[in-house]
Structure 1
């Protein structure tokens, strides 16, 4: 199913593509600080490679039904399994998600002003 996240006027809206049109699925909430207004086509997300791989970018959305966390890495969207996180990740924050050889996830918050890694979350 195609899904997109719309962010505008401080609100975020989740939409599904059904019957050749985008329909709101009921999620209309305040957008987290750090997410810029725009259309995020999260249906284009690729599943994260979980063997010695890292991803650095903005966390956009947690889909509890699908059990996925969506992250924007440069111009791409990456989805991570929610079950791999110890606690819900901080939406609207730039983070580095690193997977080790045992497919264990490490989450590090990044200070966007200096682009330095702050601390492990």
Structure 2
């Protein structure tokens, strides 16, 4: 795992990856089109936590770092960093997924947002 501090800045349909160098954010790589489903904002993925065994994580994949073989999932206000080789599926940035851990291995399930219903009382 890299100890480099990374964040993603998303705006105007574009995303840039930035790393902290000498207390300043510098753009690394090129500006790319953002995946569908990722909202504009600043994603401080360097704050991501390691997943726990027997735990379930629901949320959107915001970034896949193939170089370091990890991907980042936003769960509420937090970020979880998962190892690509720990999951039994192929994560896609911008999709909502459920990841359930059983030891070192994790099961990846696509979330069906249409099944999530809310009851509104008037």
Asked if Structure 1 and Structure 2 have the same fold, meaning a TM-score greater than 0.5 normalized by the shorter chain, the answer is yes
Distance in 2 of aligned mates of 1:32 and 1:113? 20
Q: Select which of 89, 94, 97 maps to 1:95.
A: 97
Please name the residue that 1:17 is paired with. Answer: 20
Q: Distance in 2 between matches of 1:27 and 1:81?
A: 24
Alignment counterpart, residue 86 of structure 2, candidates 73, 84, 87:
84
Aligned to 2:35: 32
Moved over 6 A (4+): none
**SS of aligned partner of 2:71:** strand
List gaps (5 residues or longer) in structure 1. 117-121
Q: For the structure 1 residues 77 and 48, does the alpha-carbon distance in structure 2 shift closer, same or farther, using more than 3 Å as the test?
A: same
Does structure 1 residue 44 correspond to structure 2 residue 76?
no
Paired with 1:45 and 1:105, the residues of 2 have a C-alpha distance of 17
In structure 2, the gaps of 5 or more residues are 118-122
TM-score w.r.t. length of structure 1:
0.87
SS in 1 for 2:98: strand
Are residues 1:104 and 2:97 paired? no
Identify the residue that residue 119 of structure 1 maps to in structure 2: none
Cα distance in 1, alignment partners of residues 91 and 13 from structure 2: 20
Structure 2-normalised TM-score? 0.86
Q: Flag the structure with larger Rg.
A: 2
Deviations 1:41-97 (A, max 9, x none): 000000111x21110001010111221110000000000001123443121011100
